[in-house]
A and B are shown apart, each in its own frame.
Chain A
Amino acid sequence: MSLKPLLRHAFLILAALLMGRSTAQHGTPDSTAHHAAAATTGAHEAAPAQDHGAKEKFNAGKLIMDHIGDEHGWHLWGHTSLPLPVILYNSERGLSLFSSGRFDHGHRTYDGYALHEGQVVAVDAPDGTDVHHAPVNERLTAATVDLSITKNVATLLLVSVLLLWVFISVARAYTRRAGQAPTGLQNLVEPIILFVRDDLAKSAIGHRYEKYLPYLLTAFFFIFFSNLLGLVPFFPGGANLTGNIAVTVVLAVITFLIVTFSGNKHYWHHIFAMPGVPGWVLAILTPVEILGMFLKPFVLAIRLFANITAGHIIALSFFSLIFVFGETSAGAGYGVAIGSWLFTVFMFMLELLVAFIQAYVFTFLSAMYIGAAVEEPHHH
């Protein structure tokens, strides 16, 4: 590997990390304090719950957290949500399958379950009871596995369908017009495929790259598509899929499994007995190396999650400023709106870059770890 691409990669990684850090500093306000049951979209909308005032105070923390979190049903606007299937398995009650609309935006119970701060809990109350009067059954809640098609799962399926549609139709173009110049959609994705193949896989793994290319390409485009879809502010976008720890953990675990099962003698030798290191140093180094094995995918998961979540948080924070100032006076709201709008646009542009960079960083680091695992020993 020559110096120039190495420097370029190093710079990109550094930029990605710095960007992640700076947005994270801005982006984690004291949201833990805000978890009052407010309407999700804004101060001007009255919540229908009886035990709340007619006019809710705007709660930026809750707005942001609701947007970056997951939900049963897909909130479209105001009080309109797209109902999604709720799938629950309880070791005592068995399987339950019903529409998320039955929860009535989390206000009512159904089939012995209710939503409590976005989580499904088991309750001992008949259907349609107000959640505030339904006692939570902790034992049954612990025995419940929530396999619902949530907003993120729906987005996940959407991204999958999109990936399959785009790439299978592109693949068809390759077989139908074999050896000819690319056209249309093929033109759009081919440079990226070549980038992943040549600049990521080939440069990081070496001559064995072809075996790992399907995973790297899938991971890259999955993250990239999810990131971009997350930037679309309205349905069917807006879900924070790659900013969800469960998604990034699964990706990182797959990378970890590939690295671990690809590891050759050379790789394991370096972990358990680094050559040329005295025995007493090995006593320290080997645990560090073993820890590193697990730390690498952990950091992969955290980096992607934190960067995308932070991007969503900061864009929404600027946006929320309008309503925070608008509550004190309408004039201030309009005044701040201009600045906020500019900042939000700026953030949006930045996030477009981050969408690519994070997909790149995840794929490149995965390729690097695989490359380290399959590297042949060099005889100096």
Chain B
Amino acid sequence: MTVLASLVNPSIGLIFWMTLTFVTVLFLLAKFAWRPILNGLKEREASIADALNEAKRAREEMASLNAKNEELMRQAREERELLLKEARDIRDREIAEAKGRAKTEADALLTRARADIQNEKNAALTEMKNQVAELSILVAERILKEKLADSKAQEALVDKVMAEAQLRRS
């Protein structure tokens, strides 16, 4: 057998050893190398994918949280504005009301005072008139007692009194 012929004729010995060795190596590697390596790779890929998803979710959550915060802030600001405005309104209204009430009260007081004054004045006037009338009657009684002996003098007196009364009234 030439050397070249031996090149293309597979030798039994090498086939035997190759089959035995390769199959053994295949099983050993499959059990002790490929399984842990492939599992490790798969787990790592899964954990990386998970981590990326988690990060993405967290980012989204953060964004939504921020938006929510901003919304809350905006709402709070609006509410504050509203509250302030309401307070201002209430204050203004109260002041206005108080002012109004004070004014009406003062007016009422004034009116009452004025009425009282008028009443007092009227009462005083009436009393004065009454006293004057009483005094007049008293005076007239005295005069009449002293001077009503003479009829002429009586008539003259009455006329004079009447005239004076007319004058005073006008």
B-binding residues in A (CB < 8 A): 31-32, 35, 62, 65-66, 68-70, 87, 117-119, 145-150, 152-153, 156-157, 160, 163-164, 167-168, 170-172, 174-175, 178-180, 190, 193-194, 197, 210, 213-215, 217-218, 222, 244-247, 249-251, 254, 309
Chain B residues 39-62 with CB under 8 Å of chain A are 39-41, 43-44, 47
Q: Determine the main DSSP class of B at the interface with A.
A: helix
Residues of B within 8 A of A153 (CB): 13-14, 17
Binds A, one of B22-30, B129-137, B139-147, B154-162: B22-30
Cβ A250 vs Cβ B19 within 8 A: yes
Looking at B3-11, B77-85, B111-119, the stretch in contact with chain A turns out to be B3-11
- The reply to whether A148 and B13 form a contact with Cβ atoms under 8 Å apart is yes
Residues of B contacting A150 in the complex (Cβ-Cβ under 8 angstroms):
13-14
CB <8 Å contact, B1 and A117? yes
The A-B contact count (CB < 8 A) is 144
Is B15 among interface residues, defined by CB-CB distance under 8 A? yes
Closest 3 CB pairs of A and B: A174-B40, A246-B10, A167-B33
Q: Which residue of B lies closest to A309 (CB)?
A: B7
Residues of A within 8 A of B47 (CB): 179
Contact check, B41 vs A193: say whether CB atoms are below 8 A apart.
yes
Contact B11 A246 (CB under 8 A): yes
Q: Contact check, A70 vs B14: say whether CB atoms are below 8 A apart.
A: yes
Which of B7, B8, B10, B17 touches A156 (beta carbons < 8 Å)?
B17
A214 near B6: Cβ-Cβ < 8 Å: no
Q: How far is the CB of B88 from chain A (nearest CB, A)?
A: 63
Contact of A145 with B12 in the complex, beta carbons under 8 Å = yes
- Quick one: given A147-B16, A245-B9, are A66 and B26 in contact (CB under 8 Å)? no
The distance from the CB of B55 to the nearest CB of chain A, in whole angstroms, is 16
Q: List, in ascending order, chain B residues with CB within 8 A of A247's CB.
A: 14, 18
List residues of chain A with CB within 8 A of the CB of B43: 178-179
Residue from B26, B32, B40, B44 having most chain A Cβ neighbours under 10 A? B40
Q: How far is the CB of B31 from chain A (nearest CB, A)?
A: 9
- The chain A residue with its CB closest to the CB of B5 is A32
Cα A30 to Cα B37 with chains together (Å) = 48
Known: A117-B3, A118-B3. A174 touches B15 (CB 8 A): no
User: What CA separation (Å) do A23 and B45 show in the bound complex?
Assistant: 42
Cβ contacts under 8 Å, B11 to chain A: 70, 146, 246
